[in-house]
Chains A and B, each alone.
Chain A
Amino acid sequence: MKTKISPEQQKYVHNIRKKQILIRLYQLLLFVGFIILWEYTAKHGIINSFIFSCPSKLFATFLSMLKDGSLIHHIFITLYETLAGFAIVIIGSLLIATLFWWNETLSKVLEPYLVILNSLPKSALAPVLIVWLGSNKTTIIVCACSVAIFGSILNIYTGFVNVENDKLKLIKTLKGTRFQCLKLVVLPSNVPNIISVMKVNIGLCLVGVVIGEFLAAREGLGYLIIYGSQTFKMGNVLLSILILCVIAMFLYMILQKIEKKLSGYF
């Protein structure tokens, strides 16, 4: 569909583009400026480079850890634990929400307990989990799950219950069973909600993993941070935090891509 573009329209589009480019430019400038300022103040002793480290040191640490393979290993461990926890949370909460939808009595009975568990500060559970399950990867994955799963169940269940009643009536007028209501209306109409729940939970799982690694791990980025801070290797600490940022952003962006792909249908 090509229509003739009027000069006004061209000018309008041009202006919008220009604004977008400027915004990107400012963002980049801010970042570069921050790095330069950090490096400069550390070099000239305005801030204590032992405590605050500096970009050039960070970069050197990054390269050396990359070379001996330890960085990749720690990243891989943290990523693995996060994704495993995430998968369990999503699959688990879909199953449990479905069960709740199916059996209203069950959901009524359990809902207050879920609400309580969800409002609990989840980091309080981590030490308990370590005592119960020991210091290993399983514990950390369970820790990630415990942070995310209760809220996830509640949100997905709410989405299921709020499906337009008349849509279910439609399936019933076509002589559909309850299972068909679930398969043909409840699940598909909740895809957008499920994805937005996923977007929240991927971040929460990462938080859970880092908490777990703080307390119980011998590997992973959380371990690097806690170990680095105890041995005053601030380069390691800040580098790990930076990488966590990148991982969080990266995981979130994947889900956002999926959401955009699907958004046309809902």
Chain B
Amino acid sequence: MQSSASLTISDLWIERGERDLCKGLSFSVQSGDVVRILGENGAGKSSLLKVIAGVLSPLEGQILYSGEDVTLDRNPLQQDAIYLGHSIGVKSLLTVAENLRWYCPDVSTSMLYSVLTQLGLIDQVDVPVKKLSAGQARRVALARLWLNKKTLWLLDEPFASLDVRGVALLEERIQQHVLLGGLVILTTHQDLLSIALRDVALLL
């Protein structure tokens, strides 16, 4: 994990289908920030996250990560980032443990089990993900946030289908992460209750 990271975006222009999104958007955020991207449905929140993560390419604009220009090659950013999209990237045929081993091969078993206990998944360790509920599957994907040591988190509606306890757990984890110098960019339709840190709202 980098001790201080920053993300600067200037004069962005995303073209999606027939629509121009985020035209002329510029902002700069750094370690310690929790950035909430707000906007109505279809405003381009997910598209913005995908552009930052490198799933999409912007039509114009510049993206700097920790001073390095990653507009053309997002690799330096990807090395240090976790992206969770609308589809969570968990393989339904693999068990919970196998899925997490795939994403985080270096994690010790005890660490894995303690995180799964925390997330309430300890009884499902060896259950294939297709037999889990939507919220449980989401928790499996979110477990990476406890297991991986990456600075930049790009979370697309991470609270979707989580219960009250799950939301609280995640908020707590996000707070902990930014205190340690992480940078979190997320889209959400709800207010973050417990995060009182440098919370930046970005309205599209």
Whether A and B are associated in the same complex: the answer reads no
